[in-house]
Amino acid sequence: MLELDLQRASTTPGPSDGDFRRWCELALRQRSADSEMTIRLVDEAEGRELNHTYRHKDYATNVLSFPADVPDDMLDIPLLGDLVICVQVVEREAAEQGKALDAHWAHLVIHGCLHLLGYDHIEDDEAEEMEALERTLLAELGHPDPYADDETDTPINNNFKDHE
């Protein structure tokens, strides 16, 4: 079971609660244990501040993931962590990349959830594994490959060049 705390701190509403739950449950279905997580939707000022504080980058980014650091003596707590998503950055990226807004939202939420599960894309082999899983999950939702250039169907790898 997923316990999702959705915090809407943005002046722009973003997707529905049901959409967030559906995307998270899809990304987390490989996890058999209960899961608790928070998604905080923020405006660019808060996104910039958090990105600066935690990554030393002075701009808002699309998604920040904060995996829970649970002490060993409390490992049975189902806390996965937090995602912070900047609504305006997501909307701007979707428009700039010519992607359907719903598909881009789904991708970012799934991508963030996978980070909370321990997936990463720093090393090429890790990136290939994570991206393959994202493609599979998004295809189940009826969304196209987020890493393909619509003109050529050539994979592109610039969506997450600078986020965490």
For the chain, which residues make up each domain, given as ranges?
2-140
Helix (H) or strand (E) holding 3: strand 2-8
pLDDT at residue 67 in the model:
94
- Give percent of the chain above pLDDT 70: 87
Fold of 2-140: Collagenase (Catalytic Domain) (3.40.390)
Q: What is the mean pLDDT of residues 11-30?
A: 96
| Contact criterion met (CB below 8 Å) for 147 and 104 | no
Helix (H) or strand (E) holding 103: helix 101-116
pLDDT tens digits, one per residue of 50-85: 999 999 999 999 999 999 987 766 667 788 999 999
pLDDT at residue 159 in the model:
45
| Contact criterion met (CB below 8 Å) for 127 and 41 | no
- 87-90-91 Cα angle (round to 5): 85
| Contact criterion met (CB below 8 Å) for 118 and 67 | yes
Confidence check: pLDDT of 19 > 70:
yes
Confidence check: pLDDT of 152 > 80:
no
- Residue located via tokens 């959409």: 19
pLDDT at residue 163 in the model:
53
